[in-house]
Amino acid sequence: MSGLAILLARRGFTVTGSDPNLEKSTIERLVASGVTVHTLQDGSNIPKNTQLVVATAALPSTHPELEAARSRGIPVVKYAGMLGAILDSHDGIAVAGTHGKTTTAAMTVAALGGAGIDAGFIIGGHIPQFSAPRRSVNSDIFVAEACEYDRSFLNLTPQRAVITNIETDHLDIYSDLDDVLNAFADFTARIPPNGALFHNADCPNTGRILPDLSCRKISLSTRSTADFEARNIRVNSEKTVFELFHRNEAATEVILTQPGLHNVANALAAMAVGLDLGLDAAELAHGIGTFSGIARRFEVKGTVGGTTVVDDYAHHPTEIQALLQGAVSRYPSRRLIVAFQPHQISRTGFLFDELATCFSLADLVFVTDIFAAREEPDDSKRAKAIDLAAEMRKNGTDAEHIGDLVDLAHRAVTVSKPGDIFLTVGAGDIYTVAERVLKLL
């Protein structure tokens, strides 16, 4: 939502917005772009001359801002509807998938920039190198992160789309994996026949939605034969390097500053999109090489007394496993302490067994109470977290439950030693623990 507000403000619209939980840095970015920000949400913040209200799908229909807009006859659209309108007016590239879509979209913008294409974009994460004072767009190309939550991506009709992977998630919206797959099939069906879908050939679920597509289907792989392949992958403590092959011919070498095989897959997708646009492989690779990352995606917050503090948004078992593998490859032979905040009561219940086993690479795991997010919090957010820590111990992971974030930060400092990696993990407010631990250290 903040990215959309900044984009519209910088295109000349008068934009106001409200959110009671904004971080100070986000407020500063909004205000610097000319957006008026309110933290109170009682229906009084909508200016008299407002022509349109755009709302996140996470809001209930009874929200006071929405009720105020309806009572005054102001049209209300969801975020995805506005994003769809923006994408329709450009040569749109939409990046979808259960995991990796934010990073892949950002890498695509970075790759295009290396080839001289200053694309517009809306991405669900703060990208420091793109933030100030937002570059002037010199291209009709627009890159958007396409979210499956609330079936939002069905508002988009991109010329090109990427699907990074498909797994079961958002079970407050979807009934099961088949329901998720049907939504992704509906999304890909919106790509025009002269458009293209870039898909991860290493994800069997994605393969299930391909047969009926009329657009071009372009495969990507880090492990097997595909239209675009990442080969000869090398990892060290500072960078990840791979060779890009296009239809079995070497195209270029790509160097990443982000760790993990999952980021190789993300970069491969970004490169493939750029090459499909007819851009130079070496220039695209240079753009990706300059990509410095996204806030809350393996974000190194600092090192104090030999302890390195890293924060990450991962909250699904597959993401967590990939994150820990990346951490181990980046910091081999160093003790890995993880503070994990489960996200949503329903997600934690459904993925309980996977969450109890995906932390095997960690030396010590602290589990906080569940961050309820869009759900009403109840006693189970604590009980399930306690049970999750106990189940981790049964599976051989050293884990303990510490519900309170302040208590957790103090506990982390007492056990940390020089050389440790302390990693905060989750989509809620667990990042505050990383900041507090740095200060305490």
Element (H, E) at 278: none
Please give the Cα distance from 383 to 369 (Å, whole number): 8
SS3 at position 198: strand
Please choose, from the candidates 325, 334, 313, the residue with its C-alpha nearest in 3D space to the C-alpha of residue 361. Answer: 325
Confidence at residue 139, expressed as pLDDT on a 0 to 100 scale:
78
Length in residues, the chain = 441
The dihedral of CA 255, 259, 260, 265: what is its sign? negative
Phi, psi (rounded to 5 degrees) for 334: -110, 145
Reported pTM: 0.82
pLDDT, tens digit, 9 for 90 and up, residues 72-129 = 999 999 999 999 999 998 999 999 999 899 999 999 999 999 999 989 898 887 787 7
Pairs from 396-399 (Cβ < 8 Å, separation ≥ 24) = 396/360, 397/359, 397/360, 397/362, 397/365, 398/362, 398/363, 398/364, 398/365, 399/359, 399/364, 399/365, 399/366, 399/367
SS3 at position 92: strand
Question: Is residue 209 within 8 Å of residue 184, measured between CB atoms?
Answer: yes
Cα separations in angstroms, 412 against 298, 330, 433, 441: 19, 21, 9, 10
Confidence at residue 137, expressed as pLDDT on a 0 to 100 scale:
56
Confidence at residue 135, expressed as pLDDT on a 0 to 100 scale:
45
- Asked if pLDDT for residue 148 goes beyond 70, the answer is yes
Please give the Cα distance from 42 to 314 (Å, whole number): 32
What is the Cα 378 distance to its own chain's centre?
A: 27
Residue pointed to by tokens 């659209």? 77
The dihedral of CA 325, 329, 332, 335: what is its sign? negative
DSSP state at residue 18:
E
Confidence at residue 126, expressed as pLDDT on a 0 to 100 scale:
79
Question: Is residue 91 within 8 Å of residue 277, measured between CB atoms?
Answer: no
**Rg of the chain (C-alpha set):** 22
Please give the Cα distance from 29 to 316 (Å, whole number): 29
Structural domains for the chain = 2-74 (3.40.50.720), 81-289 (3.40.1190.10), 299-440 (3.90.190.20)
The dihedral of CA 259, 263, 265, 269: what is its sign? negative
Partnered with residue 235 across adjacent β-strands are 240
- Asked if pLDDT for residue 280 goes beyond 70, the answer is yes
Here the tokens at position 7 are: 């984009």
Question: Is residue 83 within 8 Å of residue 1, measured between CB atoms?
Answer: no
Q: What is the mean pLDDT of the chain?
A: 91
pLDDT, tens digit, 9 for 90 and up, residues 24-67 = 888 998 999 999 999 999 999 999 999 999 999 888 889 999 99
